Amino acid sequence: MTATATPFQLVEASMLDEYPLTVEDRLDSHYFMPWERRRWLNSEMRLRGTPECRAYFFDLINISYDQAPLGTLPNDMDLLAKLLMVDPVHFRALCRMEFGPLHKWRPVRCEEEIRLMHPMVLRSLQEAVARREDNRARNEAANIAKRLQRLRITISGYHKDLATNDAAVRWIDEWLISEGCEYRSSSWIERGIARWSDHQFSLGGKGGPGTVSRLS
């Protein structure tokens, strides 16, 4: 195993890449870490790193998941040694090895701070964040669909034709939200229908199917 003078080359902060995740990106409910088993088993780090270096390397990946931003590490050798519960002098010696604990970790800019990142960790986290956003979008769409269906059923008790008018149901739903309606009581629904009627008359009464006569 060969050794180098330092685990990183000194470069100007302005020349470093900006880390794509911020401290606002969180995965608080993410209690597991995706691990590409075959990629790891065939990686140079596993095949050429010492057992000790491999263990610290894996520990640092786990630690990075609880850092801010996600997937980064402090750019401080003594602090990293403390997080790993290892002697700082020994840790620095390990990091001077070609396949040391910080293999392929590199400095990046995180707003005003310089931290360390690993491309494999970043890719896994970006995929996890994307999945979370997809799940959130699907849940929001499902909640909206349920809310509109409940509103449609309620409106049908007042005006069956109006309940078949998708544009009307959506308009009334948005009006209720904009008015800060938390509980959709009968009085709120009646006011919503009245406002829809006013809206249609302001457009010349061209409301299509389900247009209702103006309410007083």
Please report whether residue 16 resides in a domain.
no
Please report whether residue 62 resides in a domain.
yes
Please report whether residue 186 resides in a domain.
yes
Domain stop point among 101, 117, 133: 117
40 to 8, 50, 141, 196: CA distances (angstroms): 23, 14, 38, 60
Together in a domain, 111 and 164 = no
Q: How far apart are CA 125 and CA 118, in angstroms?
A: 11
Give the per-residue pLDDT at 210. Answer: 53
Contact (Cβ atoms closer than 8 angstroms) between residue 105 and residue 120? no
Please report whether residue 158 resides in a domain.
yes
Together in a domain, 51 and 92 = yes
Please report whether residue 12 resides in a domain.
no
Together in a domain, 106 and 155 = no
Please report whether residue 7 resides in a domain.
no
Please report whether residue 43 resides in a domain.
yes
Give the per-residue pLDDT at 1. Answer: 40
Please report whether residue 25 resides in a domain.
no
Q: How far apart are CA 33 and CA 46, in angstroms?
A: 18
Contact (Cβ atoms closer than 8 angstroms) between residue 95 and residue 102? yes
Give the per-residue pLDDT at 58. Answer: 96
Together in a domain, 103 and 44 = yes
Domain stop point among 68, 101, 117: 117
pTM over 0.95: no
Together in a domain, 152 and 189 = yes
Together in a domain, 162 and 110 = no
Range of the domain at 91: 33-117
Together in a domain, 93 and 46 = yes
Total structural domains in the chain? 2
What average pLDDT values come out for the chain (216 residues) when binned by 10 residues? 49 80 74 82 94 97 93 96 97 96 96 93 85 79 92 91 93 93 91 91 63 48
Give the per-residue pLDDT at 179. Answer: 92
Together in a domain, 102 and 157 = no
